[in-house]
C-alpha cells in the first residue's frame, strides 16, 4: 500500500475513534442526568412545613451577640437601591474639632514700639523670660509645650528677624512679630488664647501697640473672628 494512502487511513480511523468516544460520553451523561431527576422527587419532601422546631437553647447562632445586628429592612427604607457600575465614594466624617483644611496657614500679629528708638535688647530678653518664652537655636523666642514642640514664635522686625545673644544693650528694633501655625497644632484654640495673652502682656510691659496681620491696630472683633475660625 502506498505510504501516503496509509497515512490518510490512519488519520480517518483516529477521527472515527474520537467521534465514537465523544458520543459515548454524551449518551452516558444524559442517562445519568435522567436517573438523578427520577431519584429526586419534590413531592416527597416538605421543605416549608410549619412543624419544623428549633431548640433556641442549642442553636449554634446564639454565640453571636444580637445587640449589634443591623436591621436590613430599615436600611432599605432609608434609600433606594440603584444599580451602578461604580460604587459611590465613602464619605468620612471629619474628626472632632476644626477641620485642618479650614484653618489659616499662618496667624501673624505684631507689637510696635511707641518710643522712637524702638525696643531695647535687654528689655526684650527680660520681658520674654517673664512670660516663659525660650530663646531657640534659630535665634528667635519660642513658646515650647510639654512635648518640647513649638506652639508659636517671636521674631524681630529687623531683617533677618533674629535676636542677638550678645551686646543686648546695643540692640534696638522697631517692633516684634508673633507667628502661629494653627494647622500644625493639636489644640489651636488653646494655643491662640496663650498667644493673645502673651501679646497683651508684652504690649503693656514694653509699651507697644498691637497690630493685626494687615498692620492695622488689632481690635477685639478681629481677635473674636480668628478664635471663631479656629474653633469651628
Residue ranges with strand state E in the chain:
107-113, 119-120, 134-135, 141-144, 150-156, 172-173, 175-180, 208-211
Confidence of residue 33 (pLDDT cuts 50, 70, 90): low
Residue range 188-206: average pLDDT?
A: 97
Domain total of the chain:
1
> What pLDDT is recorded for position 39?
43
Q: Is residue 61 predicted with pLDDT exceeding 60?
A: no
Query: pLDDT higher for 75 or 219?
Result: 219
Q: Is residue 172 part of a domain?
A: yes
Q: Which three cell numbers stand for residue 15?
A: 477521527
pLDDT at 16: 79
Check: CB of residue 102 under 8 Å from CB of residue 229: yes
Residue 155 lies inside a defined structural domain of this protein: yes
Q: What is the model's pLDDT at position 18?
A: 77
How sure is the predictor about 15, in pLDDT bands with cuts at 50, 70 and 90? confident
Quick check: is 70 in a domain?
no
In a domain, 13, yes or no: no
Q: Which three cell numbers stand for residue 51?
A: 412543624
On whether residue 49 sits in a domain, the answer given is no
Mean of pLDDT values over 50-76 = 40
194: in domain: yes
In a domain, 163, yes or no: yes
d(CA 36, CA 24): 19
Over residues 92-112, the mean pLDDT reads 71
- Give the residue carrying C-alpha cell 460520553: 25
Q: What is the pLDDT of residues 118-174, one digit of tens each?
A: 999 999 999 999 999 999 999 999 999 999 999 999 999 999 999 999 999 999 999
Query: pLDDT higher for 8 or 103?
Result: 103
- Domain containing 111 equals 104-231
Range in 5-9, 155-159, 182-186, 211-215 with the lowest mean pLDDT: 5-9
CATH code of 142's domain: 3.30.1400.10
Counts for the chain of helices (H) and strands (E), in that order: 5, 8
Mean pLDDT, rounded, for 105-125: 96
Cβ-proximal residues to 23 (8 Å cutoff; 6+ apart), any chain:
none
User: Does a structural domain hold residue 20?
Assistant: no
Amino acid at each position: 500500500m502506498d505510504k501516503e494512502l496509509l497515512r490518510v487511513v490512519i488519520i480517518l480511523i483516529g477521527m472515527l475513534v474520537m467521534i465514537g468516544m465523544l458520543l459515548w460520553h454524551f449518551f452516558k451523561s444524559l442517562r445519568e442526568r435522567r436517573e438523578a431527576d427520577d431519584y429526586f422527587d419534590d413531592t416527597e419532601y416538605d421543605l416549608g412545613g410549619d412543624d419544623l422546631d428549633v431548640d433556641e437553647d442549642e442553636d449554634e447562632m446564639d454565640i453571636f451577640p444580637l445587640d449589634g445586628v443591623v436591621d436590613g429592612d430599615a436600611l432599605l427604607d432609608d434609600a433606594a437601591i440603584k444599580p451602578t457600575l461604580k460604587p459611590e465614594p465613602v464619605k468620612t466624617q471629619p474628626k472632632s474639632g476644626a477641620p485642618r483644611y479650614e484653618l489659616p496657614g499662618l496667624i501673624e500679629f505684631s507689637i510696635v514700639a511707641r518710643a522712637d528708638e524702638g525696643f531695647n535688647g535687654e528689655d526684650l530678653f527680660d520681658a520674654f523670660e517673664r512670660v516663659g518664652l525660650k530663646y531657640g537655636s534659630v535665634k528667635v523666642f519660642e513658646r515650647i509645650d510639654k512635648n518640647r514642640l513649638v506652639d508659636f514664635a517671636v521674631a524681630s522686625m529687623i531683617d533677618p528677624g533674629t535676636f542677638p545673644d550678645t551686646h543686648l544693650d546695643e540692640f534696638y528694633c522697631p517692633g516684634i512679630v508673633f507667628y502661629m501655625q494653627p494647622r500644625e497644632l493639636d489644640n489651636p484654640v488653646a494655643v491662640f488664647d496663650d498667644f493673645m495673652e502673651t501679646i497683651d502682656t508684652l504690649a503693656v510691659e514694653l509699651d507697644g501697640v498691637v497690630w493685626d496681620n494687615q498692620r492695622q491696630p488689632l481690635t477685639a472683633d478681629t481677635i473674636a473672628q480668628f478664635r471663631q475660625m479656629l474653633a469651628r
